[in-house]
Structure 1
Amino acid sequence: MREEREREFDEFVLARQQRLLRTAYLLCGDWHLAEDLTQNALAKVYLGWNRIQRLEQIDAYVHRMLFRTFVDTYRRRRRREILSAAVPDVAGIGTASDVRLTLLAALAEVTPRYRAVLVLRFWEDRSVAETAAALGISDGSVKSHTHRGLQQLRSVLGDQALDLTS
C-alpha cells in the first residue's frame, strides 16, 4: 500500500514539476530559488499526501503550498536596495526577449502577495475564484490585490509601460 502511494506521488511530481518550477520562477525571478520553492512545496505536499489524495483539487493544494512558501520566504527576508551615485541610462525595448526581461524585473519589484495574485491571474490564467482558493483568501481580496499589484507594476515600469504595449 505504501509503495503504491509513493508511486502515485512520484507520477504526480513528474507530471507537474516543470510547470510548478516555471511558476515559482515567475514569482521570485531566480531559478535556484524557484527550485527551492518547488522542492519545499512538494515536500509539504508529500507529508500530507494521504490526506490530500482525498481532495478533488490536488493541483490547487500544490499551488497554494507553492505560493504560501514563497510569501513566507519573503516575509522573513528583506530585500536590500543597491544605491548608486548615478542613474543609469534606460535602454529602449526592442525585442520580445527584452520585453520579457523588463516584465520579469518589474514583477520582482512587486510585493510578494500581489506578485502571487498576478502570476496566478495572468500567467496561470486562473479565475478570481480559483485564485482565491489557491491562496486561501476571499474573492474581494483577489480583486483588490490584482488592482494594487497592477498599479505597483505600472509604477515600477513607469514610462516603459507605454513602450511595452507598442
Structure 2
Amino acid sequence: MIVEHEEFRTYVLSRGTALLRVANQLTGNPCDAEDLLQSALTKTYLAWDRIKDRSSLDGYVRRTMVNINISWWRRRKFEEFPSEELPEAPPQHDPRHWHDELEQALDRLPARQRTAIVLRYYEDMTEPEIARTLGISVGTVKSTVSRGMAKLRGDLVVSATEPR
C-alpha cells in the first residue's frame, strides 16, 4: 500500500502543474481550478488500484475534471434565482471571454505552432521533449513556439481592442 501511495504522490508531483492548467482552462478561475483538481485527484486516488494502465492517468484525471465541472455547473445553475433588480454589468475583460478568445486564437494558428504551444504551455513539456515528440530539432521547437506566441499576442491584442 505504501508503494501505491508513493506512486500516486510521484504522479501528482510530476503532472500537477499541467493538470492545474487544464483545470484552469475548464473553470476560468484559479481558485475553482484548484478545487476542481483536488476533487479529481481525490477520486483518482480512490480508484488508483483499479487503474491498470498508468499511461492513461492524465486522460482519466482530465475526464474526471470535466465530469466534476459539469456537475458543479449544473448545481450552480439551480442556485440562481430571478430578482427585481438587474445585476451590475460584468467587467469588460471577463476571464471567461479571454479563455474563449485564446481558444479561437489557438485554432487560427498553423497546426505545428498550435501543437508546439499546447505541448509547451498546457502539457508543460520541455523543448527537448517536444522535439522528440514531434520529430523535429530543439531549435525548430524554439522558433515555432516563438512565432506562434507572437501571432497569439498580436491576435489577442487586436481582439481586445475590437468592440463586443
Count of residues in Structure 1 that have an aligned counterpart in Structure 2: 109
Q: Are residue 163 (structure 1) and residue 154 (structure 2) matched? A: no
Rate the CA distance shift 1:89–1:25 in 2: closer, same or farther, 3 A. Answer: closer
Superposed, 1:12-31 pairs within 5 Å as 12-31=11-30
Cα deviation 1:83-109 (Å, max 9, x = unaligned): 34xx7996xxxxxxxxxxx58331678
What is the CA-CA distance between 1:165 and the residue it aligns to?
A: 8.7
Q: Which amino acid aligns with 1:164?
A: S
Among candidates 73, 93, 96, match of residue 105 of structure 1: 96
Superposed, 1:75-90 pairs within 5 Å as 75-78=74-77, 83-84=87-88
Q: Which residue of structure 2 aligns with residue 39 of structure 1? A: 38
Q: Which residue of structure 2 aligns with residue 113 of structure 1? A: none
Structure 1 consecutive aligned stretches of length 4 or more whose deviation exceeds 4 Å:
79-82, 87-90, 122-126
What is the CA-CA distance between 1:53 and the residue it aligns to?
A: 3.2
Q: Distance in 2 between matches of 1:89 and 1:5?
A: 46
What is the CA-CA distance between 1:56 and the residue it aligns to?
A: 4.2
Q: Are residue 11 (structure 1) and residue 10 (structure 2) matched? A: yes
Q: Which amino acid aligns with 2:158?
A: D
User: Where does structure 1 lack aligned partners over 5 or more consecutive residues?
Assistant: 91-101, 110-117, 127-160
Q: Distance in 1 between matches of 2:73 and 2:21?
A: 18
Cα deviation 1:14-60 (Å, max 9, x = unaligned): 01111111111122122111111000000000000011133541111
Given that residues 28 and 34 in structure 1 are in contact (C-alpha distance below 8 angstroms), is that contact kept between their aligned partners in structure 2? Answer: yes
Given that residues 27 and 108 in structure 1 are in contact (C-alpha distance below 8 angstroms), is that contact kept between their aligned partners in structure 2? Answer: no
Q: Distance in 2 between matches of 1:37 and 1:7?
A: 22
Rate the CA distance shift 1:61–1:163 in 2: closer, same or farther, 3 A. Answer: same
Q: Distance in 1 between matches of 2:31 and 2:90?
A: 28
Rate the CA distance shift 1:77–1:164 in 2: closer, same or farther, 3 A. Answer: same
What is the CA-CA distance between 1:6 and the residue it aligns to?
A: 0.7
Larger Rg: 2
Q: Are residue 51 (structure 1) and residue 50 (structure 2) matched? A: yes
Rate the CA distance shift 1:14–1:88 in 2: closer, same or farther, 3 A. Answer: closer
User: Where does structure 2 lack aligned partners over 5 or more consecutive residues?
Assistant: 101-106, 108-113, 120-155
Q: Which amino acid aligns with 1:105?
A: R
